[in-house]
Amino acid sequence: MVAATCPLCASRESVEFPIFYEFRGDRFEASECLACEFVYLSPRPTDAQLAQLYSDEYFLHDGADCGAHSATDYETAAQKGSVKFPEILGSIKRYRPSGHFFEIGCGMGYFLDFARRNGYEVSGIEYAALGTKVCRERFGLEVTQSSFEQYPERAAAYDVVFMGDVLEHLVDPLAMLKKAVRMLKPGGIMAVEVPSMFNSLTGRLAVAGYRILRTRKKMPMPPYHVNEFLPATLWAALLGAGCKEQKIIQRIRPPHMITLRGSFAEKAIKKGLHYPNYVLTKGLGIFGDRLLGIGVVK
Ligand SMILES: [Zn+2]
């Protein structure tokens, strides 16, 4: 197991970030880059481990050793997620209201279908066979089954490229963001949505607490999120990928939509802090648990 360099700035200087994951006997600890403050898992999962993590059997399985979701939960989650579509697409439309919209990791196609109904010509790629099938059969969408790493690059082809809940999973996020940016026409829009668990009040409090206690929290899921973005590092990633103008919009899930995991005390703290957090994010645009990064390409 080799310690990773920072996936954003390649620095080798890092400090502990107090969380870790375990997967089939291997331990993945988070580090925070001293140069750019990016938080990432080190070591990175190997290709063989990624293949296991994203196999349909594992990813769609809902046993106690927690694959991400069962197939039915995955679909329910996709439908539930649609409440945020108008806000996300609205932000993108302010920059580019029409043209070819390409989604990387389009899941079951709900967002891509929404973009199509709102005036874009759309296409996408999806890694999972099940998602690809649903995109094609239910929505008649033009979707290719592929990882973005394997997907052939098409120069200056699109007006908007969108990645939702993708960049935190990619082992080389900057290289993939650069590739996505090269696929945009001049003046095109790179839009990236990511979770930002450690930007919320609960996340900040937890990190401070674990650091004081000099302990690391074992995360109760497999190492799907190999990167943890904060507003400053998402901004830096868009800049590094070749955008000339960046904006980070902080969002927050409504209190009834948060997932509560952990002990009774952890759940109570999380729920108790989510209400003031909700007010602060809605009112001032700070402490959001979701980030939408928009970059305008040169
Ligand atoms: Zn760095």
In the three-class reduction of DSSP (H, G, I as helix; E, B as strand; rest coil), residue 102 is classed as strand
Question: From ligand 1's centre to the CA of 49, what distance in Å?
Answer: 24
Question: From ligand 1's centre to the CA of 117, what distance in Å?
Answer: 39
The pLDDT of residue 259 is: 75
Question: From ligand 1's centre to the CA of 48, what distance in Å?
Answer: 26
Cα distances from 231 to residues 136, 267, 288, in angstroms, run: 34, 25, 9
Q: Where are the beta strands (DSSP E) in 84-199?
A: 99-104, 120-126, 143-145, 158-164, 184-195
Question: From ligand 1's centre to the CA of 211, what distance in Å?
Answer: 20
Q: Any long-range contacts for 52-55 (C-beta under 8 Å, 24+ apart)?
A: 52/24, 53/23, 53/222, 53/223, 53/224, 54/127, 54/128
Question: From ligand 1's centre to the CA of 13, what distance in Å?
Answer: 8
Ion ligand 1 — residues with CB < 5 Å: 6, 8-9, 11, 33, 35-36, 38
Q: What is the token pair recorded at 233?
A: 């590092």
Q: What's the CA gap between 270 and 274, in Å, rounded?
A: 6
Q: What is the token pair recorded at 14?
A: 């890092």
Angle, in degrees to the nearest 10, between helices 85-93 and 110-117 = 50
The pLDDT of residue 19 is: 97
- Domain definitions of the chain by residue range: 14-297
* Other beta carbons less than 10 A from residue 86's beta carbon: 12
Q: Where are the beta strands (DSSP E) in the chain?
A: 14-23, 26-33, 39-42, 99-104, 120-126, 143-145, 158-164, 184-195, 217-218, 227-228, 243-251, 290-297
The pLDDT of residue 251 is: 94
Reading the chain (298 residues) residue by residue, the pLDDT tens digits are 678 899 999 999 999 999 999 999 999 999 999 999 999 999 999 999 998 888 876 666 544 344 454 555 667 777 777 888 999 999 999 999 999 999 999 999 999 999 999 999 999 999 988 899 999 999 999 999 999 999 999 999 999 999 999 999 999 999 999 999 999 999 999 999 999 999 999 999 999 999 999 999 999 889 999 999 999 999 999 999 999 999 999 999 888 877 777 788 888 888 889 999 999 999 999 999 999 999 999 8
The pLDDT of residue 78 is: 73
The pLDDT of residue 63 is: 44
Q: What's the CA gap between 59 and 205, in Å, rounded?
A: 30
Q: What's the CA gap between 103 and 78, in Å, rounded?
A: 15
Q: Which residue has the tokens 């919009």?
A: 249
* Pair 281, 87: CB distance under 8 Å: no
In the three-class reduction of DSSP (H, G, I as helix; E, B as strand; rest coil), residue 136 is classed as helix
Q: Which residue has the tokens 């059997």?
A: 57
Question: From ligand 1's centre to the CA of 33, what distance in Å?
Answer: 5
Which amino acid is located at 58 in the chain?
Y
CATH of domain 14-297: 3.40.50.150
3-state helix, strand, coil split of the chain in percent (to 5) is 40, 25, 35
Task: Report, in angstroms and rounded to the nearest whole number, the Rg of the chain calculated over CA atoms.
Answer: 19
Question: From ligand 1's centre to the CA of 226, what distance in Å?
Answer: 14
